[in-house]
Amino acid sequence: MQTGETNVVAIAGFSLFIGLSLVITWFAARRTRSTEHFYAAGRSITAFQNGLALAGDYMSAASFLGIAGLVATSGFDGLIYSIGFLVGWPVVVCLIAEPLRNLGKFTFTDVVAFRLRQAPVRVAAATGSLAVVAFYLIAQMVGAGNLITLLFGLRYETAVVIVGVVMLAYVLFGGMIATTWVQIVKAVLLLTGAFLLAMLVLLKFSFNPLALFAEATRQYGEGVLAPGRFISNSVDGISLGLALMFGTAGLPHILMRFYTVPDARTARVSVAYATAAIGTFYLLTFILGFGAMVLVGQDPIRKIDAGGNMAAPLLAQAVGGQAFLGFISAVAFATILAVVAGLTLAGAAALSHDIYVHVFRHGRASEKEELRVARGATIGLALLAIVLGIAFKGQNVAYMVGLAFAIAASANFPALVMSMFWKGFTTRGAQASILIGTASTLVLIYMSATIQMDVLKHTKEQWEAGWAYFPYRNPGLFTIPLSFITGIVVSLLAPEPAAQEGFARLEHQIHVGEEEPV
């Protein structure tokens, strides 16, 4: 494929999706009057709708472009991501979804701060959330930049700016109502697109996936069905696995979705719908990845983008021609735009609801004021996303999202669990656990080959000889336990009687929710 060849179907698809989502935004904007609407869609979303919206928020560019690319270039190892992205969901539904809905209002920080001192906990938790949001945004922007460059021949930087501006419009005017509906439309589009693409691939193998896999082994050796090509280091594999599993339960934009439904039961049921959609999609990535490996070939995929991110669009072109390439690219673009909107909204909630209202204004800001700050924060985050997207050009997006999961699993997940299950957990413990979890993950990522060799362009010898040497690419195996231990030790050193007294109220409200005023 020629880079920059203008694709009419793709342009039509892009325009259609953007037009449709702006109409949604316009309708949503008329209904977005309070913070309850802006952050939580008025708590009016049904289980089925929220299931699709969760799926939409979760299946990012990493899932569609990144995993297909990793499977196409590394075989079985790419599937470790597919599987890891799903196994976090039983943890979310069993431990997190219902307590979150019953205890909080807008952000997961509401839960951690429930019986602790508000200001210190909120500053720490907002820091953790923003770190996750930043890394997650990088991955999405990189994916979007590649895609638009490939299709329209626009400069990568221009492409990143366009995504930033369109996303800003949804969030700024439509808030959570618009964002939720954009997610739902996108989830349906993505599932349909992936399904059609998989069917077109299987058509060539008489609808037998095994014939496809067998063809892959014939062309590239039996090694493609065995682990070891991408994850050569055992510790790295385990570390990545743990980060993926426990990271899901700490992603601020996913957790925020549980506040958009009316009650805990709806939150729980929506996870069942979400995982049905997400699991089906990940099973399809097996076919898309190996399909691209066989029908496009590993070398052409790597030639277009070193990270392999363009495998799925190239596969669409190979099996369905220019028109289908246009359709699949529009779907991928919609995917990215929607996830970026969800992430930005979560980041804005952390800045406005957690930091501005509860720390600077001690919980006494008017709704109008909070809404204004949230919208200001949205603009700031959109600018940040654009800058980061440009800085991290050329990384595999699934891998970058793996790092965001490592931060979520180390910063947010331990504090969330301990605040709900352990009576002795204290304000200082929560602060320390979140800040040490965030900082240690960021430092170890900085010391890894990704930053030292790929971004800073040090040679292997320079990297190994310097102080900033950490041999593993994903730090989850070390930072998740570190965060738990920090929280436990600090809490034990200085008990907090007030927090212990609040535990009975927390235990009660976890199950019955907020009592209706009589």
Partner 1 sequence: MSDSHGHLTRVAAERWRLALLLTALMTAIYVGFILLVAYNKPLLGTILMPGLSVGIVLGVLVIITAWVLILIYVRWTNTHYDHRVADVRRARQEGR
Contacts with partner 1, residue ranges (CB under 8 A): 76, 79-80, 82-84, 86-87, 89-91, 93-95, 98, 209-217, 222-223, 225-228, 231, 234-235, 237-238, 241-242, 245, 265, 268-269, 271-272, 275-276, 279, 282-283, 286, 507-508, 510-512, 515, 518
Beta carbon nearer to partner 1, 28 or 244:
244
- Is 453 exposed, middle or buried (CB count within 10 Å of its CB: 0-12, 13-18, 19+)? middle
- State the nearest-atom distance from the C-beta of 55 to partner 1, in Å: 13
Nearer to partner 1, 87 or 391 (CB): 87
CA–CA gap between residue 457 and residue 162 (Å, rounded): 28
Inter-residue contact 458 to 452 (CB < 8 Å):
yes
Report the residue number, 8 or 87, with the smaller CB distance to partner 1: 87
- Integer Cα distance of 354 and 110 in angstroms: 8
Q: What contacts 212, CB < 8 A, 6 or more positions away?
A: 201, 202, 205, 287, 290, 291, 294
Q: How far is CA 277 from CA 184, 199, 218, 455, in A?
A: 11, 17, 32, 35
- Tell me the one-letter amino acid at 419: S
User: How many Cα atoms occupy the beta-carbon half-sphere of 438 within 13 Å?
Assistant: 21
Which residues make Cβ contacts (< 8 Å) with residue 204, sequence separation at least 6? 295, 319
Closest CB 271 distance from partner 1, rounded Å: 6
Minimal distance, residue 85 CB to partner 1, in Å: 10
The tokens describing 296, both together, are: 């496009």
Which residues make Cβ contacts (< 8 Å) with residue 470, sequence separation at least 6? Answer: 444, 447, 448
Q: Let me know the angle formed at the C-alpha of 187 by 182 and 190, rounded to the nearest 5 degrees.
A: 120
CB of 419 to partner 1, least distance (A): 15
Helix, strand, or coil here: 232?
coil
Q: Give 423-445 as a DSSP string.
A: TT--HHHHHHHHHHHHHHHHHHH
Residue closer to partner 1 by CB (options 200, 214) is 214
CB of 290 to partner 1, least distance (A): 9
In the complex, least distance from residue 484 CB atom to partner 1, rounded to whole angstroms: 14
Of 152 and 290, CB closest to partner 1: 290
> In Å, how far from its chain's centre is CA 177?
19
Residue among 231 and 301 whose Cβ is closer to partner 1: 231
Minimum Å gap between C-beta 513 and partner 1 is 9
Nearest Cα neighbor of 239 from 414, 445, 32, 508 is 445
Shortest Å distance, C-beta 162 to partner 1: 35
- Residue closer to partner 1 by CB (options 82, 180) is 82
Would you state the structure tokens that stand for residue 321, as one six-digit string?
Answer: 């021609």
Our CB check for partner 1 shows the closer of 185 and 242 to be 242
Min dist. Cβ of residue 210 to partner 1 (A) = 4
Query: Which residue in this structure is represented by tokens 């040679």?
Result: 459
- Determine the angle formed by the axes of helices 311-349 and 47-58, rounding to 10 degrees: 110
**Which of residues 140 and 275 has its CB atom nearest to partner 1 in the complex?**
275
Q: Least distance in Å: CB of 421 to partner 1?
A: 8
Q: Where are the alpha helices (DSSP H) in 350-467?
A: 367-391, 397-407, 413-421, 427-446, 449, 460-465
Q: Least distance from C-beta 209 to partner 1, angstroms?
A: 8
Q: 5 or 222, CB closer to partner 1?
A: 222
Of 216 and 357, the one with the shorter C-beta distance to partner 1 is 216
